[in-house]
Amino acid sequence: MLYNAPSPLEVKVLTRRFGLPDSTSIGTYLANGGYAALEKARGMTPEAIIDEVKASNLRGRGGAGFPTGMKWSFCPRHSPKPKYIVVNGDESEPGTCKDRLLIENDPHQLIEGVLIAALAVGARAGYIYIRGEYRYLIEIMDRAIAEAYEHGYLGNGFDLYTHTGAGAYECGEESALLESLEGKRGVPRIRPPFPAVVGAFQCPTVLNNVETFCAVPAIIRDGASAFADLGTPRNGGTRLFCLSGHVNRPGVYELPMGFNLLRMIEEVGGGVRGGKKLKAVIPGGSSCPVLKAEECDIPMDFDSLAKAKSMLGSGGVVVMDEDTCIVRAALRIMRFYAHESCGWCIPCREGTTWLRKLLQRFHDGQGRKGDIALIGELAGNMLGRTFCPLGDAAAMPTLAFVEKFRDEFEAHLDGKPCPREAVYA
């Protein structure tokens, strides 16, 4: 199903079949070019498949943006161990709701992407890890997998299964996801070794986000350059941006990499709701440092956002209008990370909890002078020192909120209630 109207500015590659009647069925998929890329890949050497993916400039859509082809090439093809493909469908980054649509509307595209990856590395089985809340997606995916078996795409040397999570953001981190897949607490592993070498069940594993795998059939079918040319240098293709917050037309839109953020808000999202002024945008999910309105004239690709000291992340574009209380946003995000910290390492476990309590007190009007500096220092003390990226994910946005909107924090001092609280009442 689709929950928002498409935008004429969209470039539909991964979403091309969205909205077709019975779009989840293999019949629809086959009638619309499905599994042609797999046929093509079967005529290619594994090296050629990986080279093609490398040349497409496809970068991981989960958030880190690591070049996908390179990741595949780390998998020791000639290892005597069985190899696995694992799909990260644990979509949990606040602001992100795209993988859900990809599975909901076109599950065979994902299966085809996985099958091509399996050819590239010689894998014998795959697991699609889907967050537990997305129960209905597991049903859709299981039906599609059954169809793929019936049509012989699966079962001839490659088996594919769904695996449900049960509520843990941390399992979006790839090594934590593997622990979870093995029936353990979703605590990340010590790396190296990386999953490409020691992954699922101690075997070499290719692990990518749903959207990443979904991009693969198009790359193979249309050629690497066709995909790469859609985006900007080193940032190939399109991606699904999840526009949320204070815009007139929030929704998930497939746009070329490098699409201008302001234009996205204005032309795709129909501008800020209620004619209000734009205050800030979280460009790639809650862990990405916020951009002030004046920083939003920026191409949405990995490199441009890194240059702006933020991140493209998972594609969750959260728009905040002038009435938004930044302290409240910072608090809500820290509540999330404190709730989701796995508890393994001290700086993340204690840092997120402390910051949650501090920000709550601060927002409740009990802020003290030194608190603003302390918030920054505590976040700084987590940054780069935690066991896994969750600590950074909590620290980076907090640092940016304090640095860029210090005046809003100061406005909460001296027992004053949140100056913007009235607008929510």
Stretch of 29-37, 175-183, 208-216, 291-299 lying at the interface with other proteins (CB under 8 A): 175-183
Asked if residue 205 binds other proteins (CB under 8 A), the reply is no
Residues 317-336 within binding reach of other proteins (CB under 8 A): 318-320, 324, 328-329, 332-333, 336
What is the pattern of x (binds other proteins, CB under 8 A) and - over residues 151-170? Answer: ----------x-xxxxxxx-
One residue of 226, 262, 308, 374 binding other proteins per CB under 8 A: 374
Within residues 236-295, the interface with other proteins by CB under 8 A covers 242-246, 250-252, 282, 286
Number of DSSP helices (H) and strands (E) in the chain, helices first: 18, 11
Give 3-state DSSP helix, strand, coil % of the chain, rounded to 5. Answer: 45, 15, 40
By CB under 8 A, name the one of 292, 307, 309, 339 that touches other proteins. 339
* Smallest distance from other proteins to CB 110, Å: 16
Applying CB under 8 A, among 60, 63, 67, 95 the residue interacting with other proteins is 95
Among positions 342-371, residues that touch other proteins (CB under 8 A) are: 342-347, 349-354, 357-358, 361, 368, 370
| List 18, 35, 72, 134, residue binding other proteins (CB under 8 A) | 134
Chain positions 57 to 86 lying near other proteins, rule: CB under 8 A, are: 82
Would you say 180 and 168 are in contact if contact means Cβ atoms under 8 Å apart? yes
In degrees, to the nearest 5, what angle opens at C-alpha 65 toward C-alphas 334 and 76?
A: 120
Interface with other proteins (CB under 8 A), residue from 387, 401, 405, 409: 387
Report whether 230 contacts 238 (CB < 8 A): yes
Q: Pick from 316, 375, 395, 400: which binds other proteins (CB under 8 A)?
A: 316
Output the six-digit token pair for 286.
């809650």
**Smaller CB separation from other proteins, 117 or 288:** 288
Q: Which residue has the tokens 């409740």?
A: 364
Q: Which is nearer to other proteins, 69 or 347 (CB)?
A: 347
Q: How far apart are CA 243 and CA 111, in angstroms?
A: 26
Footprint of other proteins on 9-68 (CB under 8 A): none
Q: Cβ-count burial of 39 within 10 angstroms (0-12 exposed, 13-18 middle, 19+ buried)? A: exposed
**Secondary structure class of 146 (helix, strand, coil):** helix
d(CA 298, CA 88): 28
Cβ atoms within 10 Å, residue 190: 8
